[in-house]
With several copies, the nearest count.
Chain A
Amino acid sequence: MPSSKLASLGEAVELVEDGASITISGITFSRNPMAFIAALVKAGRRDLYFIDREPGLGLDVLAAAGALRGVRAAMATFELYGLMPTLRRLVEEGRVEFLEDTCGAVIAGLRAAAYGLGFMPVRGVLGSQLVELHERAGTWRVIRDPFTGEEVVAVKAIEPDVAVVHAHYCDEYGNCVIEGPRYEDELKIRAARRVIITAEQIVESDALRRLPHTLSSTSVHVDAVVHAPGGAWPTAMYGLYPADYDAIREYRDYAREGRAREWIEGRLLSRWGW
C-alpha cells in the first residue's frame, strides 16, 4: 500500500522551496489552484520560476506577491480583461524575466520530462523568432531528423520542481480524477519532480474501484494531497462552480492600481483563514 499523503495547505507548501520552478493546473480563469497559491503567498515564497502554457489569474497573483523571478509561458493573458495587470508591468520594468514559449513546444518539453527523456522534437515552430530566443536560452536546439535529415526543433525536457494541480476528487494516496477540461495537467503531474494535489473532495480508494477510466494521477506520482473545497475560486471548476468574473475583474482593477496585495489579503488569504 502506498503511504497516506494527506496534508494541510501549510504542510504541503513546505514542499515548495524558495527558488523552485513551479507549474500549476488550469488555464487563465479555470481550475487554478488558488488555495495553494494563497498558501505560497502566506508562506512568503520568493524567486519562484513559473512554467505554464496559458496561465492567467494564478500567475498574476504570484507576481503581485513578489514571489517570482521568472516566467516561461506560451501566453499569459487576462483574455477580455486585458494584459496581465501586474506581470506585464514587472516584465516591462525588467524585474521579472519572461521566456516566451509556444504551446506545442511547451507540451513537447513536458512530454520529454514525463517520459524520462532529455529532449523531444516538435513539429512547426521553425521560422518564428522564438527559435532565436530559445537557442540563446539553451532550451531548444535545431537538429536534424536522424532518418530523413529534415530540420526539426528539439525541446529540452521541462521538469518543474513542483506541479500543483487542483482536482475534483482524490484518495489519500494520490489517486485523483479531474473532470472536464484537463489542459496539460495530467502531463504536468507526470513531468514534475514533486506533485501536490489539492482536491475539492477526498474520497475513499474504494469509491474509485470499478471506475472504468484512467486516473489523472496515481499514488506513485503524488507527494501531498490537500483537501481544498472551493480551492479554484475565483477561477472556474468544471461541473461545480463557474468562474467568479466579478471577483476576477475586481482583482484586475486593484492590480492595475498597484493594490493587488490588498485584494489578495482581503479576499483570497482570508478565505483560507489567514
Chain B
Amino acid sequence: MESLKPRPTDVMVKCLAELIRDGEVVYHGLTSQIPVLAMAYAWRRLGRRFTWLSVSESNMPVVERVRVEPSSGGPGTEPLSVGVVTTMDVFDLAARGRVDVMFFGAAQIDAWGNTNLTVIGSYEKPKVKLPGGAATAFLFPLVKRILIWARHDRRTLVERVDFVTGQGRWRVERGLETLLCTNKALIEFTREGPVLRALHPGVSVEEAQAESGFKLLVPEEPRVIEPPDELGMRIIWEHDPEGLRYLQKYG
C-alpha cells in the first residue's frame, strides 16, 4: 500500500463516482481504469447500488474482488461475474434507452461537449493518430448520462475539436446530461454553455478558466470536491494496488 494522500487522479475517481446513482445501469469500456475505480468507489464508499456491466462482459461482479489491470476489457478486472453479458447485448439495451451511464475519454473536448478521439491534425494527414472513439459516436445519442474524463489543459479543452468523434452538441441540444471530470474540476455541458460545477481542492475558478480553451460559465460559486478520505483511499488502493491509475498522468 502506498501513500494514502489523495492525488488529483483520486479526486477524479471520486468526482466520477459521485455521479453514479442508485438503481442505474452503468457500463464502462476500454482504457477505463479510472471509471472502474469510480464504480468500485461508488459501490463501496458511497454505498451506491447499480447494475455493473462492462466491456469485459461481466455482470454484477463481486465488487470487492475487482482489480484494475493494464486492460479493462479482459477477464482479469471483474471476476465472478453472474454469467456472461455481451457488449452487443448492452449496446442493444442502450439503443433501447436502457443504459443510464457510460464513461468516455477524450483527447480534445469543446464547449458543447463534442469530443475528439480520432485524430490530431486532419484525418487525411494526421499529426497524431489517436486510438479512435470506440462506441463514442454510437452511444453519445443513446445513453442517458455520459461521464467524460480528461486532462484539464488548453490542448485538451479546446475551442474547436479537430474532429467531432462524439456528438456532444447533439446531446446538449436535447438536454441529455453530459459531464466532464478533469484533474482540476467538474464541468457540465448545458444548452447555455459549459458550467463549472465544482473544483478540486486548491484550484481556483481563475486557474480552471485559464487552463480551458473555452469560456466557462460560473452561475454560482463552484463547490469543492472533497478528496477521498482515508477509508476511500484504502478502497482505491485495494482495487489498484499497483497504482496503475497514475500511469495516465493526471497527477
Contact = CB atoms under 8 A, between A and B. Distances in A.
Tell me, yes or no, whether A and B come into direct contact in the complex with CB atoms closer than 8 A: yes
A104 B138 contact: yes
A183 interface: yes
Interface in B65-122: 69-76, 80-89, 91-98, 117-118
B141 interface: yes
Nearest to B62: A209
B106 to A, nearest CB: 13
Contacts of A124: 94-95, 137-142
B84 A209 contact: no
Contacts of B139: 103-104, 124
Given A3-B23, A29-B73, A180-B75, A102 B93 contact: no
Contacts, number: 245
B118 A208 contact: no
Contacts of A213: 83-84
A177 to B, nearest CB: 7
Interface residues of A, number: 80
Interface string A49-83: 00001101000000000000000011111011101
Contact of B73 (A30, A101, A245): A30
A102 B167 contact: no
A126 B141 contact: yes
Interface in A124-152: 124-130, 133
- Most A C-beta atoms less than 10 A away, residue of B31, B130, B135, B138: B138
Contact of B72 (A79, A87, A126, A218): A79
A116 interface: yes
B35 interface: no
Interface in A112-131: 114-117, 122-130
A75 B133 contact: yes
Contact of B60 (A3, A53, A74, A205): A205
Contacts of B74: 27-30, 181, 235-236, 242-243
B9 interface: no
B129 A83 contact: yes
Contact of A128 (B60, B70, B97, B166): B166
A254 to B, nearest CB: 17
A116 B96 CA distance: 5
A102 B73 contact: no
A29 B83 contact: no
A242 B76 contact: yes
A116 B95 contact: yes
B88 A75 contact: no
A92 interface: yes
Nearest to A57: B71
A245 B74 CA distance: 12
Given A29-B70, A75-B131, A245-B69, A125 B141 contact: yes
A248 B69 CA distance: 13
A74 B95 contact: no
Given A74-B134, A76-B132, A129-B164, A236 B76 contact: yes
A28 B73 contact: yes
Contacts of B129: 83, 87-88, 91-92, 98
A102 B137 contact: yes
B170 A79 contact: no
Interface in A194-217: 205, 208-215
B50 interface: yes
Contacts of B165: 100, 128-130
Interface stretch (B51-59, B151-159, B180-188, B197-205): B51-59
B93 A220 contact: yes
Contacts of A100: 118, 132-133, 165
B57 A181 contact: yes
B57 A83 contact: no
Contact of A103 (B87, B98, B130): B87
- Most B C-beta atoms less than 10 A away, residue of A29, A73, A218, A219: A218
26 contacts: A2-B51, A27-B30, A56-B71, A75-B117, A79-B72, A101-B132, A102-B138, A103-B135, A104-B135, A107-B88, A115-B95, A116-B92, A116-B97, A124-B94, A124-B95, A125-B137, A127-B141, A177-B83, A181-B57, A187-B88, A205-B82, A209-B80, A213-B83, A214-B89, A220-B98, A238-B75
Given A27-B73, A183-B87, 6 more contacts: A83-B129, A100-B165, A103-B138, A116-B97, A184-B88, A220-B51
Interface of A: 1-3, 27-30, 53-54, 56, 73-77, 79-81, 83-84, 87-88, 91-92, 94, 98, 100-105, 107, 114-117, 122-130, 133, 171, 173, 175, 177, 180-184, 187, 190, 205, 208-215, 218-221, 235-236, 238-239, 242-243, 245, 248-249
Enumerate the 8 nearest inter-chain pairs by beta-carbon distance, A residue then B residue, closest first.
A116-B95, A127-B167, A104-B138, A128-B137, A75-B134, A181-B57, A127-B170, A215-B83
